[in-house]
Structure 1
Amino acid sequence: MKKSERQRQFVQATIDLFRCPTCQAPMKAVVGNSVICQNGHQIDFNRHGYLHFLNGAADTEYGREMFLARRQLLTAGLFKPIVAAVARHLPAQSLRILDVGTGEGTPLKQLADLRTSYQDTMIGFDISKSGVTLATQLGLDAFFCVADLRQLPFNNGKFDAVVELFSPSDYREFNRVLTVGGQLIKVVPNAGYLGELRQLLYGGNQAKSHYDNQRVVALFKKHYPDCQVEPVKYQFSVPAGLQQALVEMTPLHWGKGARQLTAADLSQLTTVTVDVSLLLAKKMK
């Protein structure tokens, strides 16, 4: 079966999850190569098999080369302990899981690999077409789409878990699509995240030499006063030849004042610190 046909079948089987980005009415059916809402609005599957739910062009600086570099590092295991920590906080039952800012999809694939005992329904979305196009190539039994986190193309109360790694948030939308008792797991970088790379790029005396996540954490706690914060910190050995990919996979090297790293600089990146926090909350009502 072709990838595009598998994707159409996935949407048809889970049509109750989706709503129209134009009128917010529930999607009704897959007809031919299109999904149609109750008011007759139509969105076509593209040749890669995914749906583009944005009302207009995507606004992102994240391109294909950045996502390819990210896939190299993530496939090598850069985020595997983070994904394992996320998996530990998910219930031991089949879930409907929404991956926010899925990028090229590797973390969702790694999460699925840890949950093969369950019949999860997984959907990943991103604002970047380049990322979503790459995600559809993973061979994962999931659905990927282009969408805006501030106007999610999903019906109310349909997901058991919303997972978000290093992406912006819209807590009102997350709460809208979560079931009562559903889980939100947000991963944010801590001060030491990729500190070795940050120091090479900016030294010790620039604004971007250090990172402070206090505002992000405080906002999360404002929305979820009973949340938990779980730190995850470890050293990752950078595989030989992937130092440049490590630089290219993050927006750190775009910043004002960033140095152009030499081969000698890159040779210093033998290990990097992964320092993050899991912000854990449940929708209570």
Structure 2
Amino acid sequence: MLKKIDRGQIFLHDQLALFRCPKCQQKMISAQNYQLRCEQHHHYDLSKKGTLHFLDHHVKTDYDKEMLGHRQKMIQAGLYEPLLAIMKDLLVEDHVSTLVDMGCGEGSFLNELANLNVPGVKIGFDISKDGVALATEQEAEAFWCVADITNLPFNDDSVSHLLNIFSPSHYGEFHRVLKPGGKVIKIVPETNYLRELRQAFYADDQTKQSYSNEKVVRKFAEEMNLISERHLTYTFDVSEELQMDLVKMSPLHWGASAESLQKSRAQLIEKITIDLLILVGCK
């Protein structure tokens, strides 16, 4: 069985044309000796886990290993199964050659899509090194890297499909890297997303108990050719074993008081609302 670093080497060799250097924006010319090198001799070394670190500066993020681990458990428990089924239908009926998950976190969405036999070369990236480290433990045949959504390490017109799940957008980069006719699938929380958590964390602050995605949706429609939008709402049964994972899986708890967090842990949340908007746009 090949080591992860060897699998990474093979991937880079086979997919060299996908990548460009984020430092000088020149194409990559070699993938040898566990190293990716560009025309200007900038190089990026594969880690033992077969990942690349494209950032040349430190990025502070609160998405740490603990939080991402809780999120991973919730996804593996089936929290987003209806969403994944819709995404599978959107992708399987399309001509997917390259599928890039931007802001992949710990890699669970890309892993689940791979398990559903979604086609295409799969790449996941995130600014969180902890997230990418966790992603390497996934079973999916995918390549994982640390990169910045504002400076994608991909060539112009090289990617057929981008996934933008609960993550920021950078439409200039989307347009640059997408092939002609390439598509973005963006998942945006709706008003009632994780409503029960908001109510538990912010019982005394009505302004934090709902969410408006109006600006995000409008921006997407302005920047992309909107192909479709679909609302998805359902509830998910939360077992007692998953209570702590639910409470800590999202950034919602960051602003909650210690008292609110203590109460939320003491009182079981038996059901959680998933309320999403699925946007599909093309270049």
With structure 2 as the length reference, what TM-score do the two structures score?
A: 0.94
Match of 1:115 among 114, 117, 122: 117
* Runs of at least 4 residues off by over 4 Å: 256-259, 263-266
Distance 1:235 1:36, change over 3 A: same
**For residue 19 of structure 2, what is the aligned residue in structure 1?**
18
Contact 2:115-2:140 at 8 Å conserved across structures: no
Are the equivalent residues in 2 in contact too, given 1:243–1:266 (CA < 8 A)?
no
Aligned-partner SS, 1:252: helix
- Residues 235 and 273, structure 1, Cα contact 8 Å, conserved in 2: yes
Structure 1 residue 240: deviation in Å? Answer: 2.2
Hey, what does 1:173 align to over in structure 2?
173
> Following the alignment from structure 1 to structure 2, what is the Cα–Cα distance between the partners of residues 97 and 273?
28
CA pair 167-259 structure 1, distance change in 2 beyond 3 A: farther
Is residue 2:46 matched to residue 1:39? no
Post-superposition CA distance 1:83-137 (Å, at most 9, x none): 2111211234452101010000011011111125x4x100000000000000011
Q: Which residue of 2 aligns with 1:60?
A: 61
Aligned residues of 2:238 and 2:272 also touching (Cα < 8 A): yes
Does the CA contact (< 8 Å) of 2:233 and 2:276 recur in 1?
Answer: yes
Other-structure match for 2:51:
50
The answer to whether the 8 A contact 1:200-1:259 is kept is no
Letter matched to residue 95 of structure 1: S
User: Is the aligned partner of 1:6 residue 2:7?
Assistant: yes
Provide the residue aligned with 1:105 in structure 2. 107
1:176 is displaced (CA, Å) by 0.8
Q: Is 1:271 equivalent to 2:271 in the alignment?
A: yes
Q: Measure, in 1, the Cα distance between the counterparts of 2:258 and 2:209.
A: 10
Secondary structure of 2:240 counterpart: coil
> Judging changes above 3 Å, is the alpha-carbon distance between structure 1 residues 266 and 277 closer, same or farther for their aligned structure 2 residues?
farther
1:266–1:180 Cα change, 3 Å:
farther
Q: CA deviation at 1:151?
A: 0.1
Contact 1:221 1:227 in 2 (8 A): no
Tell me, in whole angstroms, the C-alpha distance in 1 between the residues paired with 2:266 and 2:188: 25
| 1:184–1:282 contact (8 Å) kept in structure 2 | yes
Extract unaligned runs of 5+ from structure 2.
Answer: none
Measure, in 2, the Cα distance between the counterparts of 1:53 and 1:193.
33
Q: Structure 2: which amino acid aligns with 1:153?
A: P
Query: Structure 1, unaligned stretches of length 5 or more?
Result: none
Residue 262 of structure 1, CA deviation: 3.5
**TM-score scaled by structure 1?**
0.94
* Higher deviation after alignment, 202-211 or 131-140: 202-211
Distance (whole Å) between structure 2 residues aligned to residue 157 and residue 9 of structure 1: 22
Letter matched to residue 102 of structure 2: V
Contact 2:191 2:211 (C-alpha < 8 Å) held by counterparts: yes
Aligned length: 281
Change (3 A) 1:264 1:136: closer
Aligned equivalents of 1:104, 1:56: Cα separation in 2: 21
Match of 1:135 in 2: 135
Q: Per-residue deviation at 1:48?
A: 1.8
2:260 match: secondary structure:
coil
| Residue equivalent to 1:183 | 183
Shift of 1:228: 2.3
Task: Measure, in 2, the Cα distance between the counterparts of 1:50 and 1:174.
Answer: 22
- Structure 2 distance, partners of 1:185, 1:200, is 31
Deviation at 1:229, TM superposition (A): 1.6
Return the letter of the residue paired with 1:124: G
